[in-house]
């Protein structure tokens, strides 16, 4: 409209060059204002579409986390030693692929659909196929271990190619920290709902066939027992949901290119590792959450076995797991309000410590179904905090790094990928050791009853060990330097940096228009 006005004025009367320049300047200022407003604001639709993209990772993660161990032991009927090898190698491989993919993502070029989106788009069909094959019992015995190991590792690789770019996408959907925090809260709520969905689908379908398994002739592989069929049906449903969520993310989220920034020189893998581990706040945050995350992962990995063999609630374990996830989903908005009101560090202490008394209570009291349900509801509140807070605090660390290293750009994915690497590698070790400890305790594959030593081992794995890990993690997080005051100061500094870059970009555009 402004350009049309210029043409009309030029046709009706003589106008000086200064007046034309003023009109162009006003036009550039208006365009700059609109661009700033767009960058600072995310629509509700964009936030929801972005959040839905996080569901596949949690749906498959909860199904694998809660059910893969018991599936390998009681349905595939593998020896606990081989099950521990699969769990450890799969998690360790998954951990290695995270920084590798993060490193490759930082070297990716911008395309017409963005820099992160191609990874998400092309990894989805392969992730779906390999996930489905994890839950298929092959018609042979000799190569069973290799089958599960190969497809578990392949799925973890494809999932990493989806999730690392998706996590880093947080930094590219908006330049405003408040909008990113809001989008992260939506994402965490959907992700916890994803864990509910994964637990519900896998638990309710499989739970209907939770009676003691009857061994069949392995040569009659076409006549799958009810449990095997149930796992296949559940995995098929999850695969369909995975594809739908990835489609919504791709169609509903626009990745924003940082036009005003220069691109740093390409770095080696070793340089990328040193880049992130030399940043003090990042190291303290990662190590602190490493211990607290391990506590919840250890609880997650052994909880189905604990409910089944220690508490004796074989027919109710899927409902208890579902209740934990539902409780966590409903309390995500409350935790988002709490951290915005009292600060993120305070939310960490309150949220994660909340689980400790209930971890102790469930192993100290005599097995009681009502008590187990009440403890599950209370534990879900802490699970919500454990989900939300790490991903809410990682962008603060990235902003702090950018302020202290203004000449280094485009390496955001490294911070997310190395965080996931440390968490997954440590969890692989813990799950491998915990499964192996069941073998030493005398776990009998496919049996409805286990020795007393197995029950005692499961009690230790879901209570004293996680409690100790939580305490160590919180002590480390006390040294984390980015408190609420520092975070707000960093937010102001980042906003000034972004505004100066936008002003510089606007001046360049205006100069080009005048020419």
- pTM comes to 0.67
pLDDT, residue 199, reads 80
The CATH architecture assigned to 43-210+225-253 reads Up-down Bundle (1.20)
The 3-class secondary structure across 463-485, one letter per residue, is CHHHHHHHHHHHHHHCCCCCCHH
Q: Are 495 and 250 in contact (CB under 8 A)?
A: no
Q: Are 255 and 387 in contact (CB under 8 A)?
A: no
User: Residue 360 in 3-state DSSP?
Assistant: helix
Query: How far out from the chain centre does Cα 206 lie?
Result: 25
R_g over Cα of the chain:
26
CB atoms within 10 A of CB 209: 15
User: Residue 16 in 3-state DSSP?
Assistant: coil
pLDDT, residue 7, reads 47
pLDDT, residue 215, reads 46
Q: Which of 422, 329, 424, 336 is nearest to 380 (CA)?
A: 329
DSSP, res 169: G
Report how far residue 19's alpha carbon sits from residue 228's, in angstroms, rounded to the nearest whole number: 78
451-471: burial string, b at 16+ Cβ within 10 Å, e else: eeebbebbbebbbebbbebbe
Report how far residue 253's alpha carbon sits from residue 60's, in angstroms, rounded to the nearest whole number: 22
Query: How far out from the chain centre does Cα 436 lie?
Result: 27
Q: Which of 116, 114, 93 is nearest to 104 (CA)?
A: 116
Report how far residue 320's alpha carbon sits from residue 303's, in angstroms, rounded to the nearest whole number: 10
User: Residue 397 in 3-state DSSP?
Assistant: helix
pLDDT, residue 432, reads 76
446 φψ region: left (φ > 0), alpha (ψ -120 to 50), beta (else) = left
Measure the CA dihedral 453/455/457/460, to 10°. Answer: -140
pLDDT, residue 181, reads 73
pLDDT, residue 468, reads 93
Report how far residue 307's alpha carbon sits from residue 313's, in angstroms, rounded to the nearest whole number: 6
Report how far residue 148's alpha carbon sits from residue 73's, in angstroms, rounded to the nearest whole number: 12
Report how far residue 389's alpha carbon sits from residue 352's, in angstroms, rounded to the nearest whole number: 10
The CATH architecture assigned to 269-498 reads Up-down Bundle (1.20)
pLDDT in tens, 298-317: 887 788 788 888 887 777 77
Burial (CB < 10 A; 0-12, 13-18, 19+), residue 11, is: exposed
Concatenated DSSP letters of 275-310? HHHT-HHHHHHHHHHHHHHHHHHHHHHHHHHIIIII
Q: Are 165 and 186 in contact (CB under 8 A)?
A: no
Q: Are 91 and 432 in contact (CB under 8 A)?
A: yes
Residues of the chain with CATH 1.20.1250.20: 43-210+225-253, 269-498
pLDDT, residue 224, reads 47
77 φψ region: left (φ > 0), alpha (ψ -120 to 50), beta (else) = left
Those residues with Cβ within 8 angstroms of residue 58's Cβ, 6 or more apart along the chain or in another chain: 191, 192, 194, 195, 198
pLDDT, residue 377, reads 85
User: Residue 114 in 3-state DSSP?
Assistant: strand
pLDDT in tens, the chain (515 residues): 444 454 444 444 444 545 555 444 545 554 544 555 455 577 888 888 888 998 998 899 888 888 888 888 888 888 888 988 898 888 888 878 877 887 788 777 777 787 888 899 999 999 999 999 999 988 888 889 999 999 999 999 999 899 888 887 877 777 676 777 778 778 877 887 787 788 888 888 887 665 554 444 444 444 447 888 889 999 999 999 999 999 999 888 887 765 444 445 556 667 777 877 888 889 999 899 889 888 888 887 788 788 888 887 777 777 887 788 788 878 888 888 898 888 888 999 999 999 898 888 888 877 778 888 888 888 888 888 887 788 788 888 888 888 887 777 666 667 877 787 777 777 777 777 787 888 888 887 767 778 888 888 988 888 899 999 999 999 999 999 988 888 888 888 877 776 666 555 555 555 555 55
Report how far residue 139's alpha carbon sits from residue 109's, in angstroms, rounded to the nearest whole number: 44
pLDDT, residue 437, reads 86
Q: Which of 308, 298, 299 is nearest to 206 (CA)?
A: 308
């Amino acid at each position: 409209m402004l350009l049309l006005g210029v043409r009309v004025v030029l046709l009706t009367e003589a106008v000086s060059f200064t007046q034309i320049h003023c009109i162009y300047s006003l036009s550039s200022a208006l365009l700059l204002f609109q661009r700033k407003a767009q960058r600072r604001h995310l629509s509700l639709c964009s936030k929801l579409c972005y959040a839905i993209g996080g569901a596949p990772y949690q749906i498959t993660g909860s199904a694998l986390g809660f059910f893969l161990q018991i599936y390998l032991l009681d349905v595939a009927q593998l020896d606990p030693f081989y099950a521990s090898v699969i769990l450890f190698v799969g998690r360790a491989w998954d951990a290695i692929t995270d920084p590798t993919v993060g490193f490759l993502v930082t070297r990716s070029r911008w395309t017409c659909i963005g820099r992160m989106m191609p990874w998400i788009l092309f990894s989805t069909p392969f992730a779906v196929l390999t996930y489905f094959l994890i839950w298929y019992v092959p018609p042979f015995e000799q190569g069973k271990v290799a089958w599960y190991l190969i497809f578990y590792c392949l799925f973890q690789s494809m999932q990493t190619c989806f999730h690392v770019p998706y996590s880093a996408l947080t930094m590219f959907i908006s330049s405003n920290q408040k909008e990113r925090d809001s989008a992260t809260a939506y994402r965490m709520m959907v992700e916890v709902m994803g864990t509910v969905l994964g637990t519900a689908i896998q638990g309710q379908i499989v739970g209907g066939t939770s009676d003691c398994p009857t061994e069949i002739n392995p040569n009659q592989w076409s006549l799958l027992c009810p449990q095997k069929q149930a796992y296949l049906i559940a995995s098929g449903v999850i695969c369909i949901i995975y594809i739908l969520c990835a489609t919504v993310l791709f169609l509903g989220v626009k990745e924003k290119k940082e036009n005003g920034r220069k691109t740093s020189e390409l770095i080696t893998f070793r340089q990328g590792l040193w880049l992130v581990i030399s940043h003090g706040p990042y190291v303290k945050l990662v190590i602190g959450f490493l211990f607290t995350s391990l506590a919840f992962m250890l609880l997650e990995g052994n909880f189905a076995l604990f409910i089944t063999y220690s508490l004796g609630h074989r027919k109710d374990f899927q409902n208890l797991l579902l209740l934990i996830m539902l409780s966590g989903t409903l309390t995500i908005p409350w935790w988002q309000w709490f951290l915005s009101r009292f600060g993120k560090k305070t939310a960490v202490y309150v949220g994660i410590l909340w689980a400790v008394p209930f971890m102790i209570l469930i192993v100290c009291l005599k097995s009681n179904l009502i008590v187990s349900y009440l403890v599950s509801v209370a534990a879900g509140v802490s699970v919500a905090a454990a989900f939300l807070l790490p991903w809410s605090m990682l962008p603060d660390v990235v902003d702090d790094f950018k302020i202290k290293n203004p000449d280094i750009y485009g390496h955001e994915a490294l911070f997310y990928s190395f965080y996931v690497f440390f968490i997954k590698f440590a969890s692989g070790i813990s799950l491998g050791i915990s499964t192996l400890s069941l073998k030493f305790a005398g776990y009998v594959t496919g049996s409805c009853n286990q020795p007393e030593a197995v029950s005692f081992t499961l009690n230790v794995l879901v209570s004293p060990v996680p409690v100790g890990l939580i305490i160590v993690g919180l002590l480390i997080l006390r040294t984390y330097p980015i408190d609420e005051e520092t975070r707000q100061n960093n937010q102001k500094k980042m906003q000034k940096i972004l505004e100066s870059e936008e002003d510089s970009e606007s001046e360049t555009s205006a100069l080009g228009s005048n020419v």
